[in-house]
Every structure is written in structure tokens, then in C-alpha cells.
């Protein structure tokens, strides 16, 4: 099974492609797509949708794993992220992917076994669970979050 994992956002969008082969999870690709703050939100979301569509066409995943949104403060940001998530879900569903959504709690439990795990604990476990050869090239937490959500999907689905 091959999964596209996404940590949704419109300023930074974490993406990862993971595959399960013979009970081993392998990181095939990961990146953090950034948009230009000077562009209109609609342009930023459109650009992200195009980039994710290109990823789907290149890597041919079977499923999309995406983090469920929980916001308690900035409503303006929440709306933009929700719009982005909607577009990405549409793009994935249009390509025939199954959609899996996970809460931050579900992701932490799947990766560390503890729902209140810290970022450091998550990174430690990701390093133990996956061979990530380019750790030094990963500059944003969004990319690690996308890897974690994709891994959650692989260990949660049969």
C-alpha cells in the first residue's frame, strides 16, 4: 500500500509518500510546499492543489492520510486551512484515492503509544520506525507531521 500523507496548511503544506512492503514502512518522498504570502489565498490554495495533483500522478498512491483540523484561536487561519484541506481532499478523491483522517491524538498514539507525546518524542520514534536518510534536509515540522500521518495510516489500515 502506498500513502500520501498531508499536514494541511496554506503557508506551509507538509507532504510525504510512504509505502508498506512486506510489513516494512518506507519513506519514498517528503517535502514542505511553501506559498508566497503576497499572493491571494485563492491563488495559494490553487497552487497547492496543483502540486498535490502532480504528486499523485507521479507517485500513484492508493490513499490520502490527512490530519483532522482542530483550532481554538485564530479563526482567519482556521478558515484558510479548512479551505486548503477541502481542495486537497477533492483532488485526492478525484484521483480515486481513499481518504483517511486522523486526529493529532490518534497520530501520537500510533507513533509513540502515548497521546500526549512531545514533538521530540515523535521525532525520536519516527527515526526508529522509518529509515529517513535526509533528516538533515527536513527543515520544517510540517514535513515530519506529514510523515507521521502517513505512517499512522499504514499501521492503522489492513
pLDDT score recorded for residue 140:
80
Distance between CA atoms of residues 155 and 63, nearest Å:
13
Q: Which CATH superfamily is domain 2-156 in?
A: Ribonuclease H-like superfamily/Ribonuclease H (3.30.420.10)
Distance between CA atoms of residues 47 and 53, nearest Å:
10
pTM of the model: 0.92
pLDDT score recorded for residue 132:
66
* Phi and psi, residue 34, nearest 5°: -115, 145
pLDDT score recorded for residue 17:
96
pLDDT score recorded for residue 21:
83
Listed by start position, the domains of the chain span: 2-156
Distance between CA atoms of residues 14 and 144, nearest Å:
7
DSSP-assigned beta bridge partners for residue 65: 5, 100
pLDDT in 10s for each residue of the chain, 158 residues: 999 999 999 999 999 999 998 878 889 999 999 999 999 999 999 999 999 999 999 999 999 999 998 765 667 788 899 999 999 999 999 999 999 999 999 999 999 999 999 989 998 898 888 866 655 567 788 999 999 999 999 999 87
Geometric angle at alpha carbon 94, from 68 and 58, rounded to 5°: 90
| Catalytic residue numbers, as ranges | 7, 67, 142
- Helix or strand (DSSP H, E) at 119: helix 119-129
pLDDT score recorded for residue 98:
98
pLDDT score recorded for residue 71:
63
Amino acid at each position: 500500500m502506498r500513502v500520501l500523507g498531508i499536514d494541511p496548511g496554506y503557508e506551509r503544506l507538509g507532504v510525504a509518500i510512504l509505502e508498506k512492503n512486506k510489513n516494512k514502512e518506507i519513506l519514498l518522498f517528503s517535502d514542505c510546499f511553501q506559498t508566497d504570502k503576497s499572493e491571494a489565498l485563492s491563488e495559494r490554495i490553487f497552487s497547492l492543489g496543483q502540486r498535490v495533483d502532480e504528486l499523485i500522478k507521479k507517485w500513484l498512491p492508493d490513499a490520502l492520510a490527512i490530519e483532522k483540523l482542530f483550532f481554538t484561536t485564530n479563526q482567519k487561519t482556521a478558515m484558510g486551512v479548512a479551505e486548503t484541506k477541502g481542495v486537497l481532499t477533492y483532488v485526492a478523491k478525484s484521483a480515486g484515492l481513499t481518504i483517511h483522517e486522523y486526529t493529532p491524538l490518534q497520530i501520537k498514539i500510533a507513533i509513540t503509544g502515548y497521546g500526549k507525546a512531545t514533538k521530540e518524542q515523535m521525532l525520536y520514534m519516527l527515526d526508529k520506525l522509518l529509515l529517513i536518510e535526509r533528516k538533515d534536509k527536513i527543515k520544517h515540522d510540517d514535513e515530519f507531521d506529514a510523515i507521521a500521518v502517513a505512517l499512522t495510516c499504514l499501521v492503522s489500515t489492513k
